[in-house]
Each structure stands twice: as C-alpha cells, then as structure tokens.
Amino acid sequence: QVQVVESGGDLVQPGGSLRLSCVVSASRFRVYAMNWHRQAPGKQRELVAGITTHGYPEYADFVKGRFAISRDSGENTGHLQMNDLKPEDTAVYYCHAEGTIGDAMVDYWGQGTQVTVSS
C-alpha cells in the first residue's frame, strides 16, 4: 500500500535546473528521512543527498553547492532542487523514504525519474 513516486525529471541543457519531487502515498506511513540516490548506466547507484526531521541536509561532494534537498512539514513529500546541472549528472534519480508504520520501521524505494543533461 506504500507507494513512493518521483517526478520532475527531464531533459535539460548544461547549467540548467530541475526540481525533483518525491511523494510517499500511504495513510499510516510517517516519513522521518528522505534520501535521493542516482544511477547512471554501467555505474553503481550512489547517494546524492539526504535529510531527516531533526538533522541537517547532507550531500555528496559532487553536488555540494549545486543541489538542495528539502522536506515538506506535515506531508510525506520531499524535493531535490538541482542547479548548474552537468552532463555527468545524467542518471535515474531514486527517492528512498524511511519511516514508520505504527511501531514498525520500514523503508521504500521509488521507481526513479530520468534526468538527462545534454546540449
């Protein structure tokens, strides 16, 4: 019943911006952390950014100063603002939501959204 859906991926030129969104649809799922990962063809999946309710945002070195992660209070929704995009940012971006259903700790992955940076 828990569904994690990413959106906002698109084709953009180098230097452009995109804002990805992650919506977790579940009546009893409470998100306490939301992360973004990406995977390019032939490469390992890598952590891009993460944020928790009581912590500060953390970023991979290769996106610091360019990306900003955020989470909407009161809703199971998160965002990844991506600025100054580079061709090497091309990948499928996945949302990873961690939280609870009742007293159980659970986590879910979205199916990904394609980001392509090309001239």
Q: How far apart are CA 68 and CA 57, in angstroms?
A: 8
Q: How far apart are CA 78 and CA 65, in angstroms?
A: 19
pLDDT tens digit string along 66-117? 999 998 876 788 999 999 999 999 999 999 999 999 999 999 999 999 999 9
With cut-offs at 50, 70 and 90, classify the pLDDT of residue 35: very high
pLDDT at residue 54 greater than cutoff 90: no
Question: In one letter, which amino acid is 82?
Answer: M
Helix (H, G, I), strand (E, B) or coil at 44: coil
pLDDT tens digit string along 17-30? 999 999 988 778 88
DSSP of 81-117: EE-S--GGG-EEEEEEEEEEETTEEEEEE---EEEEE
Q: What is the pLDDT of residue 12?
A: 98
